[in-house]
Structure 1
Amino acid sequence: MTVLEIRRKLQGESLRSLGWQGFAASVMITVASWGIGWFPRNQLSPIARSGFFIEFRTESSGVITCIVLMALGMVWLTRTWVVTRPRVQKSTDITSGQLGKLITMWSAPLMLSFPILSRDVYSYLAQGRMLHADKSPYAEGISALPGWFDGGSDGLWAQSPSPYGPFFLVLARIIFFASNGIPEIGVGLLRIVAALGVLGCYHFTAKLAKKMGQNPNWANWAIVGNPLFLLTMIGGVHNDALMIAGVFSALAYAYDRRPVASTMALAMAVSVKPIVLLALPFIGLILLNKNPSKRARWMVWAKVSVLSLIWLTIIGAVTNLWFGWIPAMFSAGDAAFPYAPVGLVGWSLSKLAGLLGGNALLVNSIVVQLFQLFALAIVARLALAKNISNPVRLTAWSLSAVVLLAPIIQPWYILWLMAFFAISHRVSWTSEKLMIYASSLILVAVFVDQLSIEQWHTAWTMKTFAGVLTVLLFVGLFRFDSTTRRVLDGPFGPLDSAEHRNKKS
């Protein structure tokens, strides 16, 4: 059987069927979120007073049913995504519009879900509330205003400065004002923003993929169609899609030799999440020839730095937040998670210092700053690399260094790394399968960790049940579902070379 014949066999399920399967899976996830998603407790919330939704959360049978629905929905959506893979093997097998329609159907029901996999959206609203009260989220935590806990925010941000840029904070302020403090309206408006971010990702992923010589449909399948991406960005109402869209557009404009547009796009991305400022030197490398002199590098870096500074100054002046995000960006150690490697080291050494009578906070701060300097040294080394034939890949490695050496690593940060590595070069089929398995594993971990279980239920019992059930369902999908197995065992990867070998034989 030839490669083309195998691929036709794998494409047995129609696009219409794949669309409705993903839609049904998302409906199951949405209904499940009503019982185990993050529930608004604000006194202004009409849902908090609704008996319909409370029934899902107060009875053990309702919670268990929602856990089962969520687990089944996540696994079914993953199956739909995997089974779609043969369709994007070549750019001629599916149009951009057809793939966009598929992803829209997979994600549309999530617009009506409670926040899942994260409750950061409530922190967005809390920081918008602070700004509306003339308090700087860069100088104080959200606990500076009374009633923050009832707003649904994670206590992690109670005393920590905001990690977000000025543009997003002002947007959160506008949305808080427009919602009049009603959480459902605020979440709905922020979800529209998140969906626009996903749309921007879809457009600029295709644009950048073409610049990189990649199949744009495959890139969008791998990055935007990933269930972890959709459930995090739309279901979880995250702002990361806006950031990724901004950076991808900046890189694409750089390949078009448009430094003004490129630096403006990057400034907007930085104004959402400042961490992506590290892409600036690599945008400069894209604008250069393949073998530039050191003088040429420094000249172009000076140019893009000045342009970026102009844009960031304008954004800072318009928002009246100026550059408050710079010190806040380096104080993330205050919100370190112990299970991040650097966070674990800092936490352990600070505890030891405390036991010995030392200053625990100072020790933790020193550890975090040392690793931050190490990460910046890696970025500098990559920017000065001799081989600059693929600046986007250098950006991916730089982002990996900064993320993995940070004191806090959120699971969705891995989506950034996947996105940059997937867009930077044509990955092998083995790497693609690793991406599928890693996405599924992270999905299980975040699902269990972010279950919203009311205090009258035994949380560890419910979470153990959810974890075991979801793992078993994913194992069943990858080992016993015949269609999924055929795709995962299929002759994928760089198809052109496979077809060439087949013709020669």
Structure 2
Amino acid sequence: MMFVGSIGIGWIASGSPLVRQPVVIAMRAERWGVTLSTILLTVGAMLLMRSWLRLGQRLGDWGDGTRRQVMAAIGAWSLPLLFAVPIYSRDVYAYIGQGRLLMEGRDPYAEGISVLNNWFSLGADPAWAEARTPYGPYFLWLERAVVAITGAQPDMSVLLFRLLAVAGVLLCVLYLPKLAELHGINGARALWIAVANPLFLISFIASAHNDALMVGLAVAGTYLAATRRYVRGVLLVTASIGIKPATVLLLPFIALMWAGAGASWLRRLAVSAATAALSLAVLVLSGIPYGLGLGWTWAIMDPTPGYTGYSPSGFLGQQVEFFGSVLGLPGAAMADVFRTALKWTAVGLVLLLMLRGEHSRLVRRMALAFAAVVLLSPIIQPWYILWIIPFLAATGIRDDWQIRCLYVGVTFFVVFGAQDQLSVWSFVELPVNASSLAFAIALLFTCYLLVLDVHTRALLIQGKPADLMRRGVRRILRRQPDAS
């Protein structure tokens, strides 16, 4: 359903020959085609959500053979997404433009893709027109290689970038269960939580985000460091930074693993310095080809301004601004101070988790530090929470409020993505806006999961609130129209 729906409302580059195919034209230019595609894509995504919940419920004992079943589900759910038109995001088309920049001898850390001839036909969001790339040198190498192989043909380029993302997914499939078992956590359950979940598969395969490779390398490097293969662990985490610099946060914790349990403060400082020096030296050398230098550091030192309204920082900041303005105070300035305070709170939590805690829980401390930085940031994209879920899953997510928070987060972002990133040609007149239709379907399906589905409602809601909600829905369904 998601594969077919993507043909009608997924992101196809205007330079792609697909837009001239009769079936594609009908799905994208006819009212019935766009409406049908919206329904299929949204219902398919929500069915995938239910399938994930039911898989975990059916394998509840997590005994022998369950890992094989989780891997089979991952493969079955991933295959249609591998060949679908990009959905939920079109960042993959920006990767093509950045590869072209490098091919033409330009610096993606200094120029946006608008300097390229016919850049818009590549399918990239105009937001990338003047934007510098926030990616590390290794991913720029990969972007250049893809463009060199495909000649910047959009469809083949998307497929190759998807295969790179699949490599990251496979690294998670291989190393996440091993990392979990080091911490006494069932590997199959960790794999189900982190990799089989629909947000992971949609964001990392259907959307082809390079975060998949970043996370896969980080998980592999963390496992190697946790099993005392420290140099290889540092090199793999460095490779992850070279894809996207967000995982630089992991290095101090990898250094603490290397220092060992009971290490003196002097040894910890010395090993931390050695770890930083090794990683930085590799990245400096990696910046020599194509004259990239250390241009990627801007992504760490100069973060994107603004906020997303659904992040804790963004949402709560909006409330601070509103109430401040109502009271006649400078609400906007107060909101800025509030968001800045949350960012510094995240820094403080990272330092606390670095300096305090049991050595045996270093990976857990690292996961919590990473979570603090992601969740207290003003900007959270849906796939950002996928940076932290594997590490939390590997160190334990309990079957209580913790797993329910995960259910809520994944469901929210699947519903949000269903209506946020739809490609509908402007001349197509619809009786109901495609985004509104998708949102209504996703919301109704979520209510079904919460109230009417006898299997999933036991997972999502328990106790008196669930009983009250079910009774309320039954009363509504039984209510007859007034005879008068």
What TM-score bracket applies, with the shorter chain setting the length? Answer: 0.7 to 0.9
Q: Which of 143, 149, 153 is residue 172 of structure 1 equivalent to?
A: 143
On the 8 A contact 1:336/1:343 being kept in 2, the answer is yes
Q: 1:451 aligns with which of 422, 432, 436?
A: 422
Distance 1:212 1:198 in 2: 21
**Structure 2 match to 1:475:** 447
Aligned counterpart, 1:73: 44
TM-superposed deviation, 1:474 = 2.1
Aligned AA (1:422): A
Amino acid at match of 2:135: Y
Summarize the Cα distance change of 1:192–1:156 in structure 2 as closer, same or farther, 3 Å threshold. Answer: same
Out of 82, 91, 98, the residue aligned to residue 69 of structure 2 is 98
**Retained in 2: the 8 A contact 1:127–1:172?**
yes
Are the counterparts in 1 of residues 165 and 204 from structure 2 also a CA contact under 8 Å? yes
CA offsets 1:462-501 (integer angstroms, 9 cap, x no match) = 21111011110121133222333456589xxxxxxxxxxx
Of residues 377, 380, 395 in structure 2, which corresponds to 1:424? Answer: 395
- Mark the runs of 5 or more structure 1 residues left unpaired by the alignment: 1-27, 350-359, 491-505
Q: 1:390 aligns with which of 346, 350, 361?
A: 361
1:333 counterpart SS class: coil
Among 456, 469, 472, the residue aligned to 1:484: 456
How far apart are residue 447 of structure 1 and its match?
A: 1.4
Match of 1:11 in 2: none
CA distances 1:135-194 after superposition (whole Å, capped 9, x unpaired): 111112222223222221112222221111111111011111211121001101111111
2:174 is aligned with 1:203: yes
1:272 aligns with 2:243: yes
- Identical columns (%): 35
Change (3 A) 1:318 1:206: farther
Cα gap change, 1:446/1:425 in structure 2, threshold over 3 Å: closer, same or farther?
A: same
Matched, 1:315 2:298: no
**Structure 2 SS opposite 1:153:** coil
Matched positions, count: 450
Q: Does 1:240 align with 2:211?
A: yes
Contact 1:79–1:484, Cα closer than 8 Å, also in 2: yes
Contact 1:333-1:368 at 8 Å conserved across structures: no
Q: Is the 8 A contact 1:340 1:408 kept in 2?
A: yes
2:407–2:460 contact (8 Å) kept in structure 1: no
Report the Cα offset of residue 307 of structure 1.
2.2
Instruction: Provide closer, same or farther for how the CA distance between residues 342 and 218 of structure 1 changes in structure 2, counting only shifts above 3 A.
Output: closer
Could you tell me how far apart the structure 1 residues matched to 2:440 and 2:343 are? 37
* More moved, 132-141 vs 423-432: 423-432
Deviates more, 1:249-258 or 1:386-395: 386-395
Q: Does the C-alpha gap of structure 1 residues 187 and 249 become closer, same or farther in structure 2, counting only changes over 3 Å?
A: same
Q: State whether residues 75 and 477 of structure 1, in contact with CA within 8 Å, keep that contact through their aligned partners in structure 2.
A: no
2:95 aligned to which of 119, 124, 127: 124
* 2-structure distance, mates of 1:483, 1:341: 31
What CA distance in whole angstroms lies between the structure 1 residues aligned with 2:201 and 2:284? Answer: 33
The residue number in structure 1 matching 2:187 is: 216
CA spacing shift, 1:340–1:470, aligned 2, 3 Å: closer
CA–CA separation in structure 2 for the residues paired with 1:234 and 1:327: 27
User: Aligned to 2:379, which of 393, 404, 408?
Assistant: 408
Task: Give the superposition deviation at 1:296.
Answer: 2.4
Which residue of structure 2 aligns with residue 39 of structure 1?
A: 12
Within 5 Å, give how 1:158-169 maps onto structure 2: 158-169=129-140
For 1:386 and 1:394, locate their aligned partners in 2 and report how far apart those are by CA, in whole Å: 8
Q: Which string of whole-angstrom CA distances, capped at 9 and with x for unpartnered residues, describes residues 308-367 of structure 1?
A: 123323332356423110124333325765665667869x99xxxxxxxxxx9xxx9999
Q: Which one-letter code corresponds to 1:70 in the other structure?
A: L
- Closer, same or farther: CA 487–334 of 1 in aligned 2, 3 Å: closer
Shift of the 396–122 alpha-carbon distance from structure 1 to 2, 3 Å rule, reads same
Cα distance in 1, alignment partners of residues 54 and 399 from structure 2: 18
Query: Which letter maps to 1:203?
Result: L
TM-score (ref. length: structure 2): 0.85
Q: Aligned-pair RMSD on alpha carbons? A: 2.9
Return 5+ residue gaps in structure 2 as ranges: 322-331, 463-484
Write the distance in 2 (CA, Å) between the matches of 1:336 and 1:150: 29
Q: Distance in 2 between matches of 1:242 and 1:120?
A: 15
TM-superposed CA distance for 1:62, in Å, is: 0.9
TM-score (norm: length of structure 1):
0.82
Q: Distance in 2 between matches of 1:341 and 1:41?
A: 37
Cα drift, residue 281 of structure 1: 0.6
